[in-house]
Amino acid sequence: MAPRVQLEKAAWRWVDSVRPEDIHREHIEIAYRICVPPCKRGACRRNCKGNPNCLVGIGEHAWLGEINENSFHNIDDPNSERRDKNTFVGLTNLGATCYVNTFLQVWFHNLELRRTLYLCQNARAEEHNMDSDYEPRSICEHLQYLFALLQNSNRRYIDPSGLVKALGLDTGQQQDAQEFSKLFLSLLEDTLSKQKNPNLQNVIQLQFCGQMSYVTVCNQCGRASPLPSRYYELELNIQGHKNLTECVTEFLKEEKLDGDNRYFCESCQSKQNATRRIKLHSLPHVLNLQLMRFIFDRQTGHKKKLNTFISFPEQLDMGPFLEGKEDEKCVYELSAVLIHRGVSAYSGHYIAHVRDARTSDWYKFNDEEIEKMEGKKLQLGIEEDIAETVKSQTRKPKCSKGYHCSRNAYMLVYKCHREEDTDPMETNVDVPGFLQRLVDRDNRKFEEWCLEMADMRKQSVDKGKAKHEEVKELYELLPAEDGQQYEFVPLEWLKKWLDDSTDCSLRNVCMF
Give the angle 404-408-411 at the CA atoms, nearest 5°. Answer: 80
Residue 71 phi, psi dihedral angles, 5° rounding = -75, -10
Catalytic residue among 48, 98, 120, 504: 98
Tell me how crowded residue 159 is: count the other CB atoms within 10 A of its CB. 13
Residues in the chain: 512
For residue 324, the one-letter residue type is G
Q: What string of DSSP letters covers 334-390? A: EEEEEEEESS-TTS-EEEEEEE-TTT--EEEEETTEEEEPSTTS----GGGG--TT-
For residue 485, the one-letter residue type is Q
Closest CA to 501 of 490, 510, 509, 493: 493
Give the angle 199-202-206 at the CA atoms, nearest 5°. Answer: 100
Catalytic residue among 281, 285, 349, 417: 349
98 catalytically annotated:
yes
Helix (DSSP H) and strand (DSSP E) numbers for the chain: 15, 20
212 DSSP assignment: E
Burial class of residue 382, CB neighbours in 10 A (0-12, 13-18, 19+) = exposed
349 catalytically annotated:
yes
Query: What amino acid positions are annotated as catalytic residues?
Result: 98, 349
